[in-house]
């Protein structure tokens, strides 16, 4: 497409502004984590590793990090199993209500977190508490899984759509039974989609705060909740900056990997 020179310049400025809005604040957080001055600001008064050391020794931050990892692993595990099963059912079989199931599975990712949070909170307290199960790690994991299932489901179903059924027929034709077909053909072909789905699911769960707030109860503090409750305390502000900086760096890796795996079509084209 040929654009006029002014249009090209205008679009470049717009794109530049867009990226600036997203990435300048992130850079500021990163820089401020080294800022000698306790209150974040620009330009930094001087550089120090002090806050990083303090964050490293902060028990609250560490416990919260571990809680978040456990919650994300749990939610991802549930999502992998349920999301994969759902994707196979919807893609490979024709049954009554198939379209509705597909819709109902994807809906939670679009629901506002506050709605999911309130709904789950009410449901958990009404249904689980009589059985002695209070809000805690379990309810956080279940809450996160409701929307993490979607990303696994979407990744796997997209892969299945692009994977010709004739691969499995060819394996059956060559003498493979159902289990061998899954082990040798189906699973290797969807494996990278599973990894991509798991990484996205982990990332989604890891930084979730709204649903977590409603499902965690008082005893469970995930990293986002810890950050949120500490950022307004002057004493903790620099440590929050460090935690945020670490989270930025940690997020880059799974997203980068997930993108590469989803766009990797070498293993999926009809050959």
Number of other CB atoms surrounding residue 256 within 10 Å: 11
Which one of residues 7, 170, 253, 255 is an interface residue with other proteins (CB under 8 A)?
A: 170
Beta-carbon contacts of 33 under 8 Å, excluding residues fewer than 6 positions away, are 51, 52, 238, 241, 242, 244, 245
Annotate 171-209 with b (16+ C-beta within 10 A) or e (fewer).
beeeebeeeebbeebbeebbebbbbbbbbbbbbbbbbbe
Site for other proteins in 200-259 (CB under 8 A): none
Nearer to other proteins, 13 or 170 (CB): 170
Q: How far is the CB of 261 from other proteins (least distance, A)?
A: 14
Supply the minimum distance, in Å, between the C-beta of residue 264 and other proteins. 11
By CB under 8 A, tell whether 190 contacts other proteins: no
Nearer Cβ to other proteins (30/176): 176
Choice between 29 and 158, CB closer to other proteins:
158
**CB 216 within 8 Å of CB 136:** yes
* Of positions 185, 196, 198, 245, contacts other proteins by CB under 8 A: 185
Q: What are the angstrom distances between the C-alpha of 4 and each of 1, 10, 18?
A: 10, 10, 21
269 binds other proteins per the rule CB under 8 A: yes
Number of residues that bind other proteins (CB under 8 A): 23
Helix axes 137-162, 113-127, angle to 10 degrees: 130
Cα–Cα–Cα angle for 177, 155, 162, nearest 5°?
60
Among 15, 164, 250, 253, binds other proteins (CB under 8 A): 164
Q: For residue 96, what are its two tokens?
A: 């009554």
Q: Which of residues 33-92 bind other proteins (CB under 8 A)?
A: none
Residue for token pair 């034709």: 173
Q: Segment near other proteins (CB under 8 A), from 35-43, 70-78, 174-182, 207-215? A: 174-182
Taking CB under 8 A as the rule, does residue 264 contact other proteins?
no
Least CB distance to other proteins at residue 181 (A):
9
**Which positions touch other proteins (CB under 8 A)?**
164, 166-167, 169-177, 180, 184-185, 188-189, 266-271
């Amino acid at each position: 497409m040929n654009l006029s020179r002014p249009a090209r310049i205008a679009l470049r400025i717009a794109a530049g502004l867009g990226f600036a809005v997203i990435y300048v604040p992130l850079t500021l957080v990163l820089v401020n984590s080294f800022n000698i001055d306790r209150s974040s600001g620009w330009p930094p008064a001087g550089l120090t590793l002090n806050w990083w050391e303090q964050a490293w020794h902060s028990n609250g931050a560490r416990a919260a990090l571990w809680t978040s990892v456990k919650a994300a692993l749990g939610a991802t595990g549930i999502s992998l199993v349920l999301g994969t099963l759902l994707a196979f059912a919807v893609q490979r079989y024709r049954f009554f209500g198939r379209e509705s199931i597909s819709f109902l599975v994807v809906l939670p990712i679009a629901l506002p977190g506050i709605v999911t949070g309130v709904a789950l909170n009410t449901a958990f307290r009404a249904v689980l508490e009589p059985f002695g199960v209070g809000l805690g790690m379990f309810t956080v994991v279940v809450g996160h899984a409701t929307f993490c299932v979607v990303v696994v489901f979407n990744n796997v179903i997209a892969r299945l759509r692009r994977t010709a059924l004739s691969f499995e027929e060819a394996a059956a034709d060559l003498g493979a039974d159902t289990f061998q077909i899954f082990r040798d053909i189906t699973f290797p072909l969807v494996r990278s989609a599973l990894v991509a789905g798991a990484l996205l699911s982990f990332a989604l769960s890891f930084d979730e705060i709204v649903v977590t707030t409603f499902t965690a109860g008082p005893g469970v503090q995930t990293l986002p909740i810890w950050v949120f409750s500490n950022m307004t305390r002057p004493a903790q502000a620099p440590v929050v900056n460090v935690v945020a900086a670490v989270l930025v760096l940690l997020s880059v890796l799974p997203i980068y990997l997930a993108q590469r795996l989803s766009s990797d079509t070498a293993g999926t084209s009809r050959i």
